């Protein structure tokens, strides 16, 4: 199980080496998420239209290793964007991946950019 988590590493904007073209902006629900695949990884991508921002993180929830975060509800915690796992409602910051209502592992987050109505996710390889 830990091996799954090892494949997901938070990527900072300055460390991006590959911008993966994920899909059109229209393929993502407004104020919701969808899952895309990149090199065996499942990445949850969120169109947080209320904030005018996009976020990406690992799709696997570190609580029970379920691939579900893309189906989670997004919202905010004192102004900070978050996603709630649809299974047991653990919440994670979409900015830095921190678990906001417990002490389980943080999730990995990835930079997102939009160009010509296409969504790109940043990876180190």
Interface with ligand FES by CB under 6 A: which residues?
61, 63-64, 66, 85, 87-88, 90
Minimum distance of ligand FES from residue 104's CB (angstroms): 8
Q: Could you tell me which residues come within 8 angstroms of residue 68 by beta carbon, excluding any fewer than 6 positions away?
A: 59, 60, 61, 85, 86, 87
Identity of the residue, 43 or 61, whose beta carbon is nearer to ligand FES in the bound complex? 61
Q: How far is the CB of 66 from ligand FES (least distance, A)?
A: 5
| CB of 22 vs ligand FES, minimal distance in Å | 23
- Residue 21 phi, psi (nearest 5): -75, 110
Contact 33, 44 (CB under 8 A): yes
């Amino acid at each position: 199980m830990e091996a799954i988590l090892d494949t997901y590493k938070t990527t900072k904007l300055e460390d991006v080496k590959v911008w993966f073209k994920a899909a059109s902006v229209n393929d993502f629900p407004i104020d919701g998420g969808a899952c895309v695949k990149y090199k065996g990884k499942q990445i949850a991508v969120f169109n947080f239209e209320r904030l005018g921002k996009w976020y990406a993180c690992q799709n696997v929830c570190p609580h029970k290793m379920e691939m579900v975060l893309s189906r989670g509800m997004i919202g905010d915690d004192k102004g900070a964007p978050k996603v709630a796992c649809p299974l047991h409602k653990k919440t994670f910051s979409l900015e830095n991946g921190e678990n906001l209502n417990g002490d389980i592992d943080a999730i990995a987050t990835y930079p997102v950019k939009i160009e010509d109505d296409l969504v790109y996710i940043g990876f180190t390889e």
